Structures are given as structure tokens and as C-alpha cells.
Chain A
Amino acid sequence: MSARLLVITIAAVTVVLIAIGCIWPVSAALAMIGYSPRYMRQANSPEAAVQNVVDDIGHHNFHAAYLLLGNKNEFSEQDFARDLQGSYYSLRSYATLNGFDIRPMHKSAEDATIRTIFHWATVVGPYDDSRVLNVTNNGGKWEVSWPLNKEPKVPPQVIPVNYLRWDVIYRGAQDDWGAQDVESPRVRIVDMHPIERGSGVALLGEILNEDVVPAYVTVKATLLDAKGGSMGTEDSFDKISHILLPKQVSPFRIDFRDVRMSQIDSVRIQPSSTLVSASADPVIAIQDQSLTPLPQPSLKGDLVNQSGQVVNVTHVLATLYDNKGQLVWVSDGYVNRALLPQTPVPFSVSVPPDLSAKVSTFRVVTTTYSTSRL
């Protein structure tokens, strides 16, 4: 008897949950079945109009989003899609919308201004894209005017490049054990400084390729306690520029969680290098670097691709020093737009607010990836 009651109860609860799901579906479930939410909301307020456009953008349904815009006559649908995804492959091309914030800045019966912050997710981490959207009341229906960021076009031209690259031939498997092989590049850690951060410890440092050949470098560190026992081993992962050309210096940061500085007796640090094929191009100039003060301290500037090759993904690493030249922090970030030749693209890397007052000087390096070399 009790078993039958249990079956009936489970069936009833299931029916109720299905009904709730159909009547008030969550957006994630709608996305899973490919349902466009724009039909669910009337554009009877500026916020609703913005939300409809953003929902379609989030579903990569740029055609539907474009149709909702009030300033369609100012640009084509392709321009709109290029603004959101980029003209060339970049982190934007494969980003997914993780969420968005709508912040009304001005509102009247006729028009409104709304700051919309898109939270995009990429394979290398999130990035935010902030747009100020003007919304106008068109006979009771609110329409969004999209502020198009038109990517500058590079005029057709030939940019001569003295292409410089290194190729490596290693010894063969059939060679005698005494046969000579190419050796790993000589690299040296020129600076290392541990600091306590939150509930962990970060090792900050700089590594120099002393050799005349390119090196693929990694830095691994082991924390040792007073008895010489290992407290954990970590490596620099992407907080380093892995490919170092001759005489190039890269910062690195190795994070250890849940460790206190007082527990550490010594650090065993192991830089490693491998000889790799590499190219000396493209050359990226980092212009107008400056620190933005509190409340949201950051290091900003413009990246200019001085070569003729399009750079699809750029990783920016910033080394921050105090007024004595000692390392304060190593910060990094990825640029979500492709770098076109001779075209400045802004970048920004965050600076921890509690350390920003100590920062006196800084040095920025970039690592680039192009689809032709990926």
C-alpha cells in the first residue's frame, strides 16, 4: 500500500515540475532547445528592448538581433556581426555570452540611455564588453540604436618582411649515443620574489634567454618546509611568455594556494628550456602604457602590430615594480580582438587594488598567436 502511494506521489510531483518548467522555463533550458526568447518579451520598455537584443546576441542569432535594431539603415547586418565577432578569427569569434548587466543611465518617455555590459566567456577566461545603447520610443515600441565599432580597414599594400625563423634538426634515433645533439638553450632566472597573497603565496620572477637561439621555457617551483619536505609543486602555466627569443625577458608568476609564508623554509625553483622552431615576427609595439588609479586600478595601453601578418590572439603580461625596482606583481590578460597590421587595439590588465599604491614602474610584453602558426 505504501509503495503504491510512493509511486503516485512521485508521478504527481513529476507532472507538477513539468508544468512549472513549461510555464516558467529557465533561460538555460531555452538555450538548450534553441528557443529564441525574443518572442517572450514585448519591447514595451527600454530595458526589455535591450534585453531582447542581448538575448539574440547571446544565442549568436545576429540576424534576429539586427532586425530588432532601430538604426539598421546605418550599417549592414555583416557590419553588425563583424562588430561582435571580429573580422578575423579572435577570442571573440568563439566567445559565449555568460551573462549581462543592464544599467539605465537616462530615461524619459521618448528615449533612454542604457549601459550594457556583456560578460563573455572564452577558452582563456572571461572578458567584459561595455556598450552604451540609446533606446528610442517608436510609437510605443522601444528600439535599440546599436553603437557600431567599425574596425578600421588596412589599405591594400605590400609590407616587406625580412622573415626570420629558426628550424631545429635533432639527432636521429639511429645515431650513436656519442653523436652530438643540439643543446637546450641557456636560460637564467634574473629575479625572484615570493609574496603572500590572501590565503596563498605567489612567486614572482623574471627569466632571461641568454642564448642565441629561441627557447620554450617553463618554470616550476617547489615549496619546502623547515624539514626539507615538499609542501607542493606548481608551475607558471600561462603566467609566462613561453617562447623567448634570444636575450628576451619574460615575467612569471607561480601561485600556491592555502600556504602561509611563515610555513615556507625555502623554495626549489626549476627553470627548463627546450630548443624550438620559432619566428621572430610579428613585432608588437605597446604604446601609451599608463596606470589607472583606484578604485579600479589597471594598466592600459594600445597594441600596434608592426608586421604585415594578422595576429589572432594576443596575451599581454605586465610586470609591476616598486620604486626600488623590486617586483610587486605580475598580471596578465588576453586581447579579444585580432591585431590588424598598423592598427592600434586597446588592452587593459588589472592591478590588485591593495598593491596599486606600491607600483612605480612597469614593463609589458606580449605573446602572439596567429592561425597560420597555431
Chain B
Amino acid sequence: MKRRLLLLLSMLWLTGESLTFAQSSSLQIPKKIEAGTAFSVPTSGSGKATLYIIGPTQVLRRDFQLGETVSFESGDLHNAGHYMVVLTGPSTETTQMDVVPKPDPYTMSFLAKPSRIPVNLSQGISGVAYVFDTFQNLILKPTPVAFKMSDAAGGTESRTEPTHDGVAWVKMNSAPKAGPAQFNATAGSITEKRVVQQVPADPCNLRMTARPAGQDIELQTDPVRDCTGNPVPDGTIVSFTENYQGKISTVDVPLKRGVAKTDLPAHAGASISVATGVVLGNEIRWGGGR
């Protein structure tokens, strides 16, 4: 049933399109209204008539007596776009109207990417804001959007960009200090918040020490940090490798409380190295007690 109605309305819309150029309309309908605004259409004559307002995503129908004023309540016509108005009755009249978004931002979709980023990365964070009115119409009129990035150390970076066809975007740098950064976008009275986790970069100056522990060697790294001094997060894998007379012993240890610690068999003359990912650390030749 709905399909049939839509088909009929579509045909009416197409017919109206072709008639638009053939006859001038006497319908007194506003040519442009804001989405959701109440409006009325005065009519003249007598007899039953039907008024259709047909748009890309919304169709309104009113049955009335000619001579009455057809009223549309606030919120009745809320989808922005180009509409065809068709009056059917003793005669058929068509005209067109535009529904434009309300100018004030009501909601905003804010995409902040990535959610995790290494520190000190230039132009690494992107923010894209889509500004909508009360009825989720994209506000096409240029609207200023203020982007603000506040890092864990209190540093801020702000920029204001106008929307182009409803979208504003910006690229920001990641801070040198690791931690969660607040990334805000504000349009009018609307503010959306995102959190971008700024994480330490690759470990730097990886270094371990060794000491005897019974028949084993106790190996422990110094606190592992990146090149700007941020502690590398716990769970990062550190690989210890011991090479002794062609036999190799390895162990992959996660950082816990900033350091990696393990025991390997003590062999005098063994060489022990440490690495994490593709970063190599120091090497120790085990002399027995040193």
C-alpha cells in the first residue's frame, strides 16, 4: 500500500515538474522556509482539494476545502531540501519551495582519528566536524567550528575553521608528553569531546644490567623510555638473548612497572643482548660475577 502511494506521489511529482514550466502557479506558498517552521498556505475558490508537499525524504498531504487556509505546524516540514508543492482539485497547480536548515547548530558529529598516536607526530591527529540543526539537517551555511586540543601537561593547541558544505576539518600535532589529550570541537553552543591517547614512541637507549642469582643471571632493564622521556607502557615485550657456545636461550618478557626482568642460566663467557621490537639495546659478556 505504501509502495503504491509512493509511486503515485512520485508520478505526481514528475508531472508537477513538467507542468512547472507550462503554467504559472497561483499558490501563495513561501519559496523558502527554515526546517521545522510553521507556515500556512491561503487558497481561493471552492470545492474539495488536496495539497501535496513532496520532497526527497518527506511527503505531506492535506485535504481541505478551497478557500480555507492550509496550516502546517511547527516541525511538520523538517527535512531540508527542494520540495514540489502540488494542489489537486478542480484544477491542478504546482510550485516549488526550499526548506533550509536552521542556522543554529544543534548537534555535531565529531570524528577524531586516531584514538591512539605516538607523541611528537606532526599533523598526526585529524578532526572532522559535521554540524547539524535540530532536525539533523546538515547546515550548509559556513559555520565556525573551534577545535581545541589540550594535552596531559596542560598544553593547548586551538584553531577555528569554518565549515565547507557542512563540514569543518583540522589537523593537529601530537604533544611531546604522553597521556590522554582532550580534543574538543565547538560550534555555537555545542561542544563535542574526544579523547586521543598520546602514547610513547619507540623505546630509546634500551639498557640492561645483570647480576648473579644462584645458578642464574638476573637480568633487568633500566626503566624503558622513549626518546622524549616518556615511560614505555607496561606489557611492551623486551627480548633477552643469551648466546653461549652456540646454544641460545631467549625469553620475551613484558615490561612491568616500567622494567623488564628475567633469569637466564649463568654461563661464564656467555654474551647477552636485549632488544624490543626493532630497537636493540646493550650487550653484556658475562664473566661469572660481573
Residue numbers of A with Cβ under 8 A of B are: 162, 164, 166, 176-178, 180-183, 190, 208, 210-214, 245-249, 280-281, 283-290, 301, 306, 362-365
Alpha-carbon gap, A211 to B277, bound state (A)? 10
Alpha-carbon gap, A212 to B200, bound state (A)? 8
Alpha-carbon gap, A306 to B130, bound state (A)? 52
CB–CB A363/B235 < 8 A:
no
CB of A328 to closest CB in B, whole Å: 16
CB–CB B234/A289 < 8 A:
no
User: Contacts A180-B194, A287-B265 known; A208 to B250 CB distance under 8 Å?
Assistant: no
B19 at the interface (CB under 8 A from A): no
CB–CB A246/B247 < 8 A:
no
Residue of B nearest to A249 (CB): B277
28 A-B Cβ contacts within 8 A? A164-B235, A166-B235, A178-B110, A178-B130, A178-B192, A180-B111, A180-B115, A183-B114, A212-B236, A247-B237, A247-B277, A249-B277, A280-B234, A280-B256, A281-B254, A283-B251, A283-B252, A284-B251, A284-B252, A285-B250, A285-B264, A286-B249, A286-B251, A289-B247, A290-B246, A301-B249, A306-B251, A306-B262
CB of A91 to closest CB in B, whole Å: 22
Alpha-carbon gap, A212 to B203, bound state (A)? 11
Alpha-carbon gap, A211 to B114, bound state (A)? 12
Interface SS of chain B: strand
B253 at the interface (CB under 8 A from A): yes
Residue of B nearest to A362 (CB): B248
Q: Which of B174-230 contact A (CB under 8 A)?
A: 192, 194-195, 199-200, 202-203
Q: Which of B111, B114, B200 is within 8 Å of A178, CB to CB?
A: B111
CB of B16 to closest CB in A, whole Å: 34
Alpha-carbon gap, A182 to B113, bound state (A)? 10
B276 at the interface (CB under 8 A from A): yes
Alpha-carbon gap, A246 to B237, bound state (A)? 6
Residue numbers of B with Cβ under 8 A of A are: 108-116, 130, 192, 194-195, 199-200, 202-203, 232-238, 246-254, 256-257, 262-265, 276-279
Residue of A nearest to B108 (CB): A178
Q: Which of A177, A245, A285, A290 is within 8 Å of B251, CB to CB?
A: A285
Alpha-carbon gap, A210 to B256, bound state (A)? 18
Alpha-carbon gap, A178 to B194, bound state (A)? 10
Residues of B within 8 Å of A177, CB to CB, are: 109
Residue of A nearest to B246 (CB): A290
CB of A247 to closest CB in B, whole Å: 4
CB–CB B249/A212 < 8 A:
no
Residue of B nearest to A304 (CB): B251
Most buried by A among B130, B263, B278: B278
CB of A117 to closest CB in B, whole Å: 27
CB of B210 to closest CB in A, whole Å: 15
Q: Which of A180, A210, A364 is within 8 Å of B250, CB to CB?
A: A364
